[in-house]
Every structure is written in C-alpha cells, then in structure tokens.
Chain A
C-alpha cells in the first residue's frame, strides 16, 4: 500500500479561481487579483496564486486517500487533516497547466491517552509543461480508532 500511486492528472489554473480563493482568505494582495499590478515575466511574473492554493486542486489526491482509508478498514468518521507541508520551487501561475501525481507515502499508527491513532501520509507533486517541479505537498490524515 505504501508507495501506491493514487492519482495522476492535470489541472489548469484559472485566474478567476485564484481570485475566488484569495478573496475567501480575505487576502487582497494585488499580485493574486490584478493583472495590471502583477509584474511582467520571470518566475514570479503575472498573476500568481497564494501559497496554500495548491490544496484547491488536490481534491483528487485527497479522495484517493479516503479510498485508502476505507480499504485499510480505518475509521473514516473520525478522519481529520492533521498536518500539511509544502515545498515550493516557485509560485503557481494563472493560465498554466500542472501535471499532478499523488502517492501514499506512509501508513503508521501511534498509541496515546485517547487510544490508537492511524496516520496516512499522502504526497503530491506538481510539474509544469516543461517537466519542472513547481511544488510538493505532504498531507497527513489522522483517524482515531473507536
């Protein structure tokens, strides 16, 4: 199960979606919203996305993680997002298409005062059309045995 490929796919980043996501965070940085403010060329040129925006197109990878939970017989009802980590090579840009690959990176359990916790770690990497890595994400999902 560890190392299993969960999903592959592409996502095209729409400026309108970046705008909606930024507004939902109450983050009105013009670099996310206004093409006139958004600088020219270069790795950070044009409209770019805020740092946590990748979560908005990782639903697919997360859904694969839910299936893994069910398959392992883990408790879906107590499932929570426990940790999130990103590594960035550059910001995500409006208009680009990213190739996403999701994997099960780790599965483990810990025992504590509230009982046994099951952990599933999902990793997603995003590459641009040149094949360059844009960001890497690691989601840790946790459920408590009941």
Chain B
C-alpha cells in the first residue's frame, strides 16, 4: 500500500503530506542518543546560547528522517534510489514539521516507473527548512 499511484503519477502530482511534531527537547535527546550524534548544540541550552544561538535546535538529520518516512509513505519500503536535502534553515523546538513534495519527472526503466520529486519541510508559518530532491522507483503498472 503506497500513497503514490504508478498508473496516474505525472509531473506536478503532489505527494501526500506528512505532519510531524511539534518537536520537543525530549525528541532531540532521544534522537541524539539513537543516532549517536554527540553534538551538545541540540541538547544543551547553555552550550547553544554560548555559541550564539537563542537555544537548542533540531538535528538536520531528524527532519531528514521525517522526509524519509514521508518518501516511504509515498513509494513504499525499498522504493527510494536517491535522496538528498540541504539544511537551509534551522528547525526549533515547538516547530510543527510538514513534509511536502511534488513530482518533477516520470520515466520508465525496465520494470520500474522512476519518479523524480522536489521535496521539502516547512514549519507552521510555511517557512521552508530542508529543501531537497528524491528519486523513487515504483513498480511499473501492467501495460
């Protein structure tokens, strides 16, 4: 069961959004532990303030993890061939993260229907935080 239908997907098709959060400081501690990221910038308020930030902020890879869930929702486990993101703006505790995407190209290769997408996360104000692209391989529908 995937959200993106290989029979009807076309340029401009929007991927089903995925809403995560609001992000809590507890989420950041849990992600730091599970991912093995030792950077105190995401877990230690004093450290983050001393570095010139208003406080701790989310790991870019936490939001990219949300985009990963969003792509699997669209194409299924094992469908992602390429996946990239630029960490354009910081994501803060309290932010609601909405993952969105739009199809930019569709072509067939063997048994696969290859779908290029622009993808991004945005917060509750519609501000884009991660900006990237993905290539999904869907099972090509029977002719």
Contacts and interface: CB of A to CB of B under 8 A. Distances in A.
Interface of A: 17, 20-21, 23-27, 29, 31, 43-44, 48, 50-52, 55-57, 59, 77, 80-88, 90-91, 138
Given A27-B65, A82-B86, A91-B78, 12 more contacts: A17-B34, A20-B33, A24-B35, A25-B68, A51-B68, A51-B83, A52-B64, A77-B51, A83-B86, A84-B64, A86-B83, A88-B83
Nearest to A18: B34
Given A86-B83, A90-B78, A59 B36 contact: yes
Interface string B78-95: 101111111100000000
A29 B69 contact: yes
B77 A25 contact: no
12 contacts: A24-B65, A25-B65, A31-B77, A50-B72, A51-B71, A56-B36, A81-B60, A83-B84, A84-B85, A84-B87, A86-B82, A138-B84
B36 A24 contact: no
A86 B83 CA distance: 5
A24 B30 contact: yes
A25 B78 contact: no
Contacts of A26: 20, 27
A23 B69 contact: no
Given A59-B36, A91-B78, A50 B68 contact: yes
Interface of B: 20, 27, 30-31, 33-38, 51, 60-62, 64-66, 68-69, 71-72, 77-78, 80-87
Contact of B80 (A25, A29, A88): A88
A85 B83 CA distance: 6
B80 A51 contact: yes
A44 B65 CA distance: 19
A82 B61 CA distance: 10
Contacts of B86: 82-83
Contacts of A27: 65, 68-69
B87 A25 contact: no
Contacts of B66: 25
Contacts of B81: 87-88
6 smallest CB-CB distances across A and B, nearest first, come from A51-B68, A85-B84, A24-B34, A44-B78, A25-B65, A27-B69
B84 A86 contact: yes
A82 B72 contact: no
Nearest to A140: B86
B31 A24 contact: yes
B68 A23 contact: no
A43 B72 CA distance: 16
